[in-house]
Structure 1
Amino acid sequence: MNQLTVYFQQIVEIIFERFLEYIQVMAPCVERDDVIKRNMTFLLVQTNNQANEIRDLSRAYTHKLLFTFNHLFSDVIVIKNVFDIYDQLTLIKEYMYKSYMNDNMVMDYTLAEINSVFGNDKNVSSNNNTQSNSNLGHSPFPFSLANHELHINFKDC
């Protein structure tokens, strides 16, 4: 994989680490999708600004990354409970990586390289707990959501 791919993976890792931190802070109101939409925009702007400074990526690409996440959280993703969080984050990770691999900026990938990144298992399903799913071992990202324990008590806000 080229250096840009490595940078991309690092940025996504930062985003998801911050998202998990944010979810824990917002635990009492996590079921309120509108709260998550509003705050994720601010959070992603901060993350992408940091990515630009630290990793010297093009402003246009990090803006695209922000836009894609914003679109997903505004129009597609509705978070209902803690189990849904894991399902949706897994879905977003897969979507983002496939979107990146199809980007016009990346022209030097062969099918074999893409398969080696994704592995044989492309479907990751939740078993409604926080234990590791064996399919996550094939994730192109250097971390696993299943390694994070979320101690969240859902309450009506």
Structure 2
Amino acid sequence: MSGAGAPVLRLEGAQDLRVAVVAAQWHERVMDGLLAGAHRALDEAGVRGATVVRVPGSFELPVAALRLAQLGYDAVVALGVVVRGGTPHFDYVCQAATSGCTEVSLRTGVPVGFGVLTCDTDEQALDRAGLPGSREDKGHEAVTAALATALALRGLAPAR
């Protein structure tokens, strides 16, 4: 991923949003980077007091995201990492996390920022974790996308 073509998102008014971050615990170093990037994005947008919920792994992200969306958060951010191994487990977890978070967003109308890294190697995950020396900061990007979407939806009429 090059990051080329990424939009510049405006987050004026985001400080009033109620935001939750749900983060997996697997791959502690990568997750520390993703969470740090998420906190940086929240700080830059002026969002204070975001709720952080930790779950065991990426498979558990959708159920926690659903509960947070049902509790009235304006945006939820899901952070996790799945590194390919020698079994189909990778495919099942990636599919469950992706479709689950999408379903939460569509069912509730609450934006779910998707910051789940699906990588072939630990090195790829570290390169996207927003750590010193990383080329990308997917935790920051997931928060920014969720906030921008919540702001875009704010002015629309309620769903029927």
- TM normalised by structure 2 equals 0.33
- Higher CA-based Rg: 1
Say which structure is richer in strand: 2
- TM normalised by structure 1 equals 0.33
